[in-house]
Amino acid sequence: MPSPYRALFAPPGTRGFSAAGLVGRMPLSMMGIGVVTMISQVTGRYGLAGALSATIALSSAVLGPQISRLVDRHGQSRVLRPAVLVALTGAAGLLVATRLRWPDAALFVFAALVGCVPSLGSMVRARWAAIYRGTPMLHTAYSFESVIDEVCFIVGPIVSIGLSTAWFPEAGPLLAALFMATGVFWLTSQRATEPRPHPPEEHVRGSALRSPGLQVLVATFVATGTVFGAVDVVTVAFAEELGHKAAASLVLAVYAAGSCVAGLVFGVLRVHGRPERRWLAGVCAMAASMIPLQLVGNLPFLAVALFVAGLFIAPTMITTMSLIEQHVPRAQLTEGMTWISTGLAVGVALGSSVAGLVIDSAGARTGYVVPAVAGAAAVAVGFLGYRRLTRPATSRGGTVEQHGERTDTADTAERHLA
């Protein structure tokens, strides 16, 4: 591991909460694709499968920022445990309803409950921010977490699709629920590194989404999430058309591997220049990488094209987190990060739903038009809102750091780095 990543874990407790975050984020890549695989196997209806996956994503989009806002005010341990119990109830109900062939309406109700799953990535990044705020190591921390995200997307689909196709249809979502429970309860048991809740006098009125810069980031990532959701569903269907449905997990893992490699490299670089320019360049590159998918004719070509496309994901996401630091008050940092996840979730919902309809009506190969159009939309929104990103918030508000004071965790981190 390069020296910046080794130094990252010098403060006590960092290895523990990062490991818990890894386990707890596995459902991010397992649950949606697991539901698609499960429903398509049991019913053969990709439209229904995509709609249920979209319901989970939309529910997460609605509930996630509210959960994170409560976390900023009351702390992770007090909020995340009740929230995950609701999500686990929904997951259990969805599996039972699928097994017993209950009406579609019941499936949608339980899928909506699954969306109550907390955003573990935002919780872990908030812990890193509490330790390394104001130091170059925060860039490395965000890079590492982006790599962890991609590791989840490499391993998760392989395990979820593999179990559901080789064992029984509900196996993938079932394991995702177990990971969810383990990760949340493990993370919330680590109180020493938990960011302190902000007292009432530090609370910022209204939502973090009032920030014009955050609005641009979220809107752009709705379109970007549409790319991700469509690619997942279309790839599963495309592999099935070729008679190799289980291979879809390997192809999607290659997609995530490209992002993982790029994130590792990006994390050891000392980047210069305006972050909003890097961000816009990344959005444009992600959109352009969808063009070769229109020419796919076999799985090896698709894997190569997706690997190249993946190279632009992690650097763009890392830069996005840096921009959030500039545009959102620190007392709303967890909520601000969660809004990005919300934008992605809404996009995934749109992408999986629209892609499922296109597949049912015109076939899997035509489905790759959906991520191409979504990528173009992301570029358009990015250019239209670029000026908002060049004007960081004038008031950071909400924490003692803005008045020149430093947190104890940041001082501890600097002593370890010295």
Give CA 365 to chain center in angstroms: 26
What pLDDT, in 10s, does the model give residues 29-71? 788 878 888 888 888 787 788 788 878 877 887 888 888 888 8
Tokens for 60?
């997460």
Give φ, ψ of 116 to 5 degrees. -80, 5
Residue 347: name the closest of 375, 369, 366 by CA: 375
- Apex 388 CA angle, 387 and 389, nearest 5: 90
Residue 158: name the closest of 229, 256, 52 by CA: 256
Euclidean distance between CA atoms 66 and 372, whole angstroms: 31
C-alpha distances (whole Å) from 29 to each of 86, 156, 158, 263, 337 are: 19, 5, 10, 18, 18
Euclidean distance between CA atoms 348 and 75, whole angstroms: 28
Q: Which amino acid is at 247?
A: A
pLDDT at res. 401: 34
**Structural contact between residues 246 and 166, judged by C-beta atoms closer than 8 angstroms:** yes
pLDDT at res. 395: 47
pLDDT at res. 30: 84
pLDDT at res. 403: 31
pLDDT at res. 396: 47
Residue 393 is classified by DSSP as -
- Kindly report the pTM of this predicted structure: 0.72
Euclidean distance between CA atoms 25 and 15, whole angstroms: 15
pLDDT at res. 1: 47
**Structural contact between residues 117 and 60, judged by C-beta atoms closer than 8 angstroms:** yes
pLDDT at res. 182: 95
Scanning 75-211, the segments in alpha helix (DSSP H) are: 76-99, 104-114, 120-132, 137-166, 171-188
**Structural contact between residues 225 and 350, judged by C-beta atoms closer than 8 angstroms:** yes
What pLDDT, in 10s, does the model give residues 349-376? 788 778 888 988 888 888 899 999 999 9
Euclidean distance between CA atoms 60 and 76, whole angstroms: 17
pLDDT at res. 413: 38
pLDDT at res. 414: 37
Domains and CATH numbers, the chain: 3-187+207-394 (1.20.1250.20)
Tokens for 299?
């799985």
pLDDT at res. 188: 93
pLDDT at res. 206: 60
Give φ, ψ of 347 to 5 degrees. -65, -40
Residues of the chain with pLDDT under 70: 1-3, 154, 198-209, 271, 330-331, 392-418
